[in-house]
Amino acid sequence: MNNYPEYNASIIVTDNLEEELGKIISHYPQDKIFLVTEDNCELQCISLIINTPGFANFKKVVLPAGEENKKLSSVEKIWLFLSQNGADRKSLVVNLGGGMLTDLGSFAASTIKRGMDFVNIPTTLLAQVDASVGGKTGFNFNGLKNEIGVINQPVSVLIDTRFLRTIDKPNLVSGYAEMIKHGLINSKDHLDEVRKFDLNNPDYDSLRGIIARSVAIKDSFVFKDPFEKNIRKALNFGHTIGHAFESFALESENPLLHGYAVAFGMIAELYLSHKVCNLPLAIVADLSNWLFDIYGHFAPEENQFEKLFGLMTHDKKNEGARINFTLIPAIGEVAINQNCDKNLVFEALDFIRNFNR
């Protein structure tokens, strides 16, 4: 697919963040604007919205950063804050932070008082190209990634690449994985431009355009299938196995950033794509080498395969006892609802374990 879709007008890629936010909040009572953010953003990111008209009147709650805080007690903290400060269904919640924060804030706003409006201002690359776009909200539960949540669209997503200067390289690289995925499932052109981007010397001006095109790809799938009944499942490439890696790592002393887990999941699912959909092995090898060069070596042990497979059985895309994978027959093409038996999944895990060993 050589042309890029247009993205939703409510997704605004801008370098005039305060002006765009000001337009949105002008439609709400000034005493009904609520800011939900995380502690690292309070120190580094609020400066980019502080001159928004009416900002001094924003009521604010600050959550601790980190995936380990993506839990019910954090949602309860937001609910309590909103309830105690007079939030009602005419209020607006402004979520400023990474993907963990926008997921939590969006879920809290979507559920309290049966729902109030919210805006996402993502501050990490992962949140800008994936987490804050598409309406998925929620939190981790019972050791499972994003187990509890609802799908509900924000009033707007405001994307400003200036925030990316505040994050470290691992978090930049984490978000980069989702851009790679968007290229793999939709557009060789996008994959090529992502592959040419220099992560060691990032050009944030050129990154703005790449992000806009990556978001457009995701949003085109969301627009066609907002509640993930069909083609939106394409966006889950790399995630069935990747989420198992991420959930498993959350239980250990070596947690994986989401994008790293997805990158390793994509390697395993590229192998499944070869076995099930005839993706050429040369492409699998080339892409796997590239991903390992970026994300480092990763080798699940054989005695972990059973646990990892068990985590995959809890994936939200499954139907009954089937584990549904999104696979790619070719770069830019997808095959959803692909069932792989346990032996083949173990074979894919063995592939990633032994690759370049």
Q: Domain holding 217: CATH number? A: 1.20.1090.10
In angstroms, the Cα distances linking 125 to 39, 184, 281 are 18, 18, 30
User: Does the pLDDT of residue 328 top 50, yes or no?
Assistant: yes
Domain boundary among 127, 144, 168: 168
Residue 164 and residue 56 in one domain = yes
Domain boundary among 124, 151, 168: 168
Whether 261 is covered by a domain: the verdict is: yes
Confidence bin at 251 (pLDDT 50/70/90): confident
Residue 127 and residue 180 in one domain = no
> For 167, phi and psi rounded to 5 degrees?
-100, 155
Q: Determine the pLDDT at residue 2.
A: 39
Residue 274 and residue 232 in one domain = yes
Domain boundary among 121, 137, 168: 168
Question: What average pLDDT does the chain have?
Answer: 93
Residue 153 and residue 177 in one domain = no
pLDDT in tens, 126-172: 999 998 889 999 999 998 889 999 999 999 999 999 999 999 999 99
User: Does the pLDDT of residue 111 top 80, yes or no?
Assistant: yes
Whether 112 is covered by a domain: the verdict is: yes
DSSP 8-state assignment for residue 61: E
Residue 331 and residue 347 in one domain = yes
Whether 6 is covered by a domain: the verdict is: no
User: pTM for this one?
Assistant: 0.92
In angstroms, the Cα distances linking 313 to 87, 111, 223, 258, 318 are 39, 27, 27, 19, 7
**DSSP per residue over 214-258, as a string?**
HHHHHHHHHHH-TTSSSGGGGGGTTHHHHHHHHHHHHTSSSPPPH
In the chain, the number of structural domains is 2
pLDDT in tens, 44-61: 899 999 999 999 999 999
Pair of tokens at residue 20? 């765009």
Whether 5 is covered by a domain: the verdict is: no
Q: Are 262 and 181 spatial neighbours (Cβ–Cβ below 8 Å)?
A: yes
Residue 209 and residue 344 in one domain = yes
Whether 3 is covered by a domain: the verdict is: no
Residue 128 and residue 194 in one domain = no
Helices (H), the chain: 17-25, 39-44, 72-84, 99-111, 125-126, 169-186, 188-196, 204-224, 239-250, 258-277, 281-295, 305-312, 342-354
For residue 339, list its beta bridge partners.
Answer: 324
What is the extent of the structural domain holding 23? 11-168
Residue 228 and residue 316 in one domain = yes
Residue 257 and residue 151 in one domain = no
Residue 160 and residue 178 in one domain = no
List the CATH number of the domain containing 73: 3.40.50.1970
Residue 236 and residue 292 in one domain = yes
The average pLDDT across 225-244 equals 95
User: Does the pLDDT of residue 8 top 70, yes or no?
Assistant: no
Residue 203 and residue 237 in one domain = yes
